[in-house]
Structure 1
Amino acid sequence: MSPPDRKEADVRALLRQPRGVPVPADLAERALTQGERLLRRRRVRLALVWVTVLTALLALVVCSLVLDPWSEPPPTTSPAVGR
């Protein structure tokens, strides 16, 4: 027979130990409320991002309509007179 394996001895020792800490009875309810809270916060953040993007887009459209950037700029010098 081969000598006992160290890993096997570790596993046997773990199996001989008493069970772990008992789980609280309301753990599922607390996890559910925390998950709902996280989803709600994620939705609010996503809504704020969309509002920010749409506001920036609206500001860009209004700015481009008011400033009219595609037209020629007015001449900065007057033409020469008498030549």
Structure 2
Amino acid sequence: MNRSEREAAARRIMEQAPAPVPPDLYGEVVRRGNRALRRRRVVGRLLWLLLCAVAVAFTVWAVHAHPWVEPPSQTTPPITGW
């Protein structure tokens, strides 16, 4: 099938009468859309909650562990009695 035949076939399909739409389709689409929006909202809230929990846990760890302080040297013993 070459290009002109494909274009002619596409024109024939587009010129046909549209397929009938079931009458209850709109209600079903609205119901599914609302469900998808609720799921997206819940997932977003859970991700924000997880992010906040991680930030709090990191802050508590950093305050307790002091990762910015250099650990004391263990290679040389302290010099006493000089």
Shared topology, TM-score over 0.5?
Answer: yes
1:15-34 deviation digits (Å, cap 9, x = unpaired): 4x5x3432111111000000
Residues 74 and 13 of structure 1, relative CA distance in 2, 3 Å threshold = closer
Distance between the aligned counterparts of 2:73 and 2:10, measured in 1?
88
> Which aligned runs of 4 or more in structure 1 are off by greater than 6 angstroms?
none
Structure possessing the higher radius of gyration over alpha carbons: 1
Q: CA RMSD in A?
A: 2.9
1:51-76 deviation digits (Å, cap 9, x = unpaired): 11111100110000111222342342
Structure 1: runs of 5+ lacking an equivalent:
1-5
Q: What percentage of aligned pairs have identical amino acids? A: 37
Give the TM-score taking structure 2 as reference length.
Answer: 0.70
Corresponding residue pairs, total: 77
Partner of 1:3: none
Structure 2: runs of 5+ lacking an equivalent:
none
